Amino acid sequence: MKKTSVIAGGLTIAGLLPFVFSAGCIVFFNSGVPVTNLLMAFVSYGAICLAFWGAVQWGLSLETDRAILVAGAESRDVVRLLLGVIPAALAWLAICLAFLWSAVMAVALLAVAVPLQGLAERAGWRRGMLPRGYMGLRWIAVAVMESCLLVVLMARLF
């Protein structure tokens, strides 16, 4: 295993800790804690993560020296650019929903957007558009984030 793979794995886990911590605080703190503020922090961090995953796609589309030149590289870059922008737009929408209407609706939006982004990346990975090992880390992040999103959603709705 390459040293960068170990570092990437450690940073992925470390990056999920604020999300898990926020979810735990929302679910387990008593009513004296301002849950609204915790929900805003939770939604904001979820939006940041979603936008970051989009930025990975954006960065890959701007790669200048490709190891392998394939036919249709330009159309792949367009797909990557879309996968880079759409998550950021959804992240912005989630933050707007949280501030302007309902933080619970923002959590619901993220609960839909996170796995959809993962599925879109999986389709790209199956076509050879993503580096080896990326989807393993990505699925760990999706599983942890989706679990947290669903637990918070259930706790706030019921």
SS3 118: helix
- pTM of the predicted model, to two decimals? 0.84
* CA–CA gap between residue 107 and residue 97 (Å, rounded): 9
Per-residue pLDDT of the chain (158 residues; tens, 9 = 90+): 566 678 888 898 999 999 999 999 888 876 555 677 889 999 999 999 999 988 888 777 776 665 555 555 667 777 778 888 899 999 999 999 999 998 899 999 999 999 999 998 888 788 777 777 888 888 999 999 999 999 999 988 88
Q: Which residues of 43-70 are buried (b: 16+ CB within 10 A; e: fewer)?
A: bbbbbebbbebbebbbebbeeeeeeeee
